[in-house]
Every structure is written in C-alpha cells, then in structure tokens.
Amino acid sequence: MLFSLYPTDPPEVRDAVVAAARDHSREHALFTSLHIPEATRLNAFLDELRALHVREGLTFCADISPLTLQRLGLDLDDIGQLHEAGVRWVRIDFGFDTDQIARIAARGGFRVALNASTVTDADLDALAGIDLVGWHNYYPRPETGLTVEFVHAQNALFEARGLGVFVFLPGERTFRAPLHLGLPMLEEHRHRNAYVTYLHLAHAFPTTQRVFAEGVPHPQHLAWIEHFERTGEITVPLTGLSPSAAPLLEQSWTVRIEQTGLSERLEGTRGLTPPPAWVNADTRERGSIQMDLDAYGRYAGEVHLMLRDTPLDPRQARIADIAAPYRGLVDRLRLTRQVRFLAAN
C-alpha cells in the first residue's frame, strides 16, 4: 500500500504520513501533488521532499502540470531536476499533449502515470513505447466520484496492454484542504471507514495497487490491512458475543466453498457447543452470526454468517454480530475465504 503527502498538509499530518510510508509501505514511495492551487510554498515543499528522500530513502510519484513547471521555474528540458527531490514517477493529469509527455519521459527519465479516470484508447496508442501505468483520480467534491463499472472499463484499457493500475481510497482521520470532505475515487467510499473501503477495492480490483489519498488510517485499521496483505486473512470484529461464540476467537476459519446466497458457513464448526436456548431478534439479520442448535442433529454447532435479513428459524441461535461499522465485510468474505474473529473494542 502507498500513502500520499501534500504541500498543504499540516506538520502533524506530514509526520504521520512519512512514518506510515517508512514503517508500513514496502515500496517506500509516496504520492504527492505539485499543482495544488492552494499550495503557496512549492519550492520549499520540493526542498522538504529532497530532505525526505535523502534521510528516509523515500521516492515520490508527483502530479504535475504546466503550472507546476511555471511555479518551479522549470521547462521540459530541465524537468529532470525533480530527480534530486526523489521524484521517480510523474503523474500527468492535464495540460500536456502526447508529444510533451513523451518528451518528459525521455528528458526526465521518469515513469509516467496517466490519469486512468480520463485516458482514452487513442491516448495510450499515441504513447506506446513509454513506461506507463494508470493512476486513477480522486474527487473532493461530493457526488462526483466514480462508479465501479466505470473504473473496470478504464482499467481494461491498461490491462489489455499489460500495464498496471493504481486506485485511491480516502482517509478517515485527517482530510485534505480545501473541502476536508475526503478524497474517494469511488463515490460509494465517501464517509466509509478505511478498512472496509480497502477490502472493497481488493475485491473489486484485485490486480491494482491501492493508495491512501490522504493522511493515514486508524492504527487498528492499518494493522488489519497489513494482516490481510501478509496472510490473506480478513479480520472480522464481533460484538454481542455469547459464551458459545468464544471458540471463534481462538483460531482462523475458512468459508465453505458452496454458496447459498443466504449465509456463509464456516468449515470445521460443526460440533461446537451451541447455546442451551433459542436467542434471536425479529429476523436473522444481515451481519449476525447464527449457530445451529441441537435440533439440527449432526449439524449442531455449525456457524453461519448471514448475508441478508432472513426469516427466523427456531433451530438457530444468534451468538454474535459483526460490529456495525464493519457490516459490509459480509460481502467480502470470499475475497480469500480465510477469516479471523476479534472482539470489537
């Protein structure tokens, strides 16, 4: 995973992002923008990037535009000076034609990231032979983010040419100026927590690299994301645990390969001790954890994670619930089929 750093970030956010990139990013790279209109100290910010490159070994993918070069006093022939500040990739959003992009790649020795949210087949054909990747956009203004279907279509342009793609997810603790309303790529991610959003991107776009568009996530979410990247296990926080749910917290579990559309069953749970009494709500609610009772005979103890609200069954008892902020995880359990349960804080 990658993080993002901006000239408009306050010092405490900048320090947190640098620490996250140093300690939690295998790439030791940061996305940054050198053409934010609100940035008034661009040369000073470039000096800060240079210091981070020397001190921390960080490198940068920098969003640039003709305004960037104007404000830094550079032209296309000496754009390679950005290398001194650790810039190894440049992201081209707007303002340069294909000839200029080719010139930037050649003169600067940069890998070129194109705005995957706006690029066309013709653009990619015109830039054939250049070291390219796709890098999507984010959308500060509410109700302007993209749909999953559109991102799939745009990604296909790059995948057909064997090119990689980067996608953004918004922050959750600090939000970038000027709107401070988040920087999602997908509109449906606006205001959601970073952990659920990250797993949605991993599920919807499994071949892409994922980038935090701003700040850093909650430490707990970052730890769960790292655990997923390292082991393939999805962490599921639970509330309302009954004593019968205690064994779920002691090991990892595999989602059964069969699909019912009603629930996800966990392998190896038959034979767990069910509660002595029938406990439920008005329905077997989406996100609830249900256990088969003794009335189901040899199925007793089997655990079901409910995918949707379902009528009551007196032969099943509710033993826990997926914590409300993470209820969307019921749609992601087939991402790897490996889950671990924790008691929610």
Q: What is the pLDDT of residues 65-116, one digit of tens each?
A: 999 999 999 999 899 999 999 999 999 988 999 999 999 999 889 999 999 9
Nearest CA among 83, 72, 62 for reference residue 4 = 62
Burial class (CB in 10 A: 0-12, 13-18, 19+), 216: buried
Distance CA 171, CA 183 (A): 7
Q: How many CA atoms lie within 13 A of 340 on its CB side?
A: 12
Tell me the pLDDT tens digit for each residue of 185-198. 999 999 999 999 99
The token pair that represents 55 in the structure block? 């001190």
Q: For the chain, where are the E strands, in sequence order?
A: 3-5, 29-33, 59-64, 87-92, 111-115, 132-135, 165-169, 209-212, 234-239, 252-254, 263-265, 288-292, 303-306, 316-322, 338-343
Residues in CB range of 77: below 8 A, 6 or more apart: 107
In this prediction, residue 145 carries a pLDDT of 97
What's 139's DSSP letter? -
Query: Which position has the token pair 């790439």?
Result: 27
The token pair that represents 256 in the structure block? 């059964």
Q: At what angle do helices 11-24 and 42-56 cross, to 10 degrees?
A: 30
Tell me the pLDDT tens digit for each residue of 203-230. 999 999 999 999 999 999 999 999 999 9
Residues in CB range of 19: below 8 A, 6 or more apart: none
Distances (CA, A) of 34 to 41, 118, 216: 10, 19, 20
Residues in CB range of 35: below 8 A, 6 or more apart: 63, 64, 65, 67, 68, 93
Backbone angles phi, psi at 101, to 5 degrees: -65, -45
Q: What is the mean pLDDT of each run of 10 residues along the chain (345 residues)?
A: 95 95 93 91 96 96 95 92 96 93 92 97 96 97 97 98 97 86 96 96 97 96 96 97 95 95 97 93 96 97 98 97 96 96 95
C-beta of residue 293 within 8 angstroms of C-beta of residue 300: yes
Residues in CB range of 187: below 8 A, 6 or more apart: 139, 142, 143, 144, 145, 146, 147
In this prediction, residue 289 carries a pLDDT of 98
Q: What angle do CA 111, 113, 114 make, to 5 degrees?
A: 140
Backbone angles phi, psi at 339, to 5 degrees: -135, 155
In this prediction, residue 37 carries a pLDDT of 85
**Alpha-carbon dihedral 250, 343, 170, 233, rounded to 10 degrees:** 10
Distance CA 284, CA 309 (A): 6
Distance CA 302, CA 247 (A): 12
Distance CA 196, CA 175 (A): 18
Q: Are β-strands 29-33 and 59-64 bridged in parallel, bridged antiparallel, or unpaired?
A: parallel
In this prediction, residue 38 carries a pLDDT of 84
Backbone angles phi, psi at 89, to 5 degrees: -125, 150
Burial class (CB in 10 A: 0-12, 13-18, 19+), 37: exposed
Q: At what angle do helices 219-231 and 194-204 cross, to 10 degrees?
A: 30
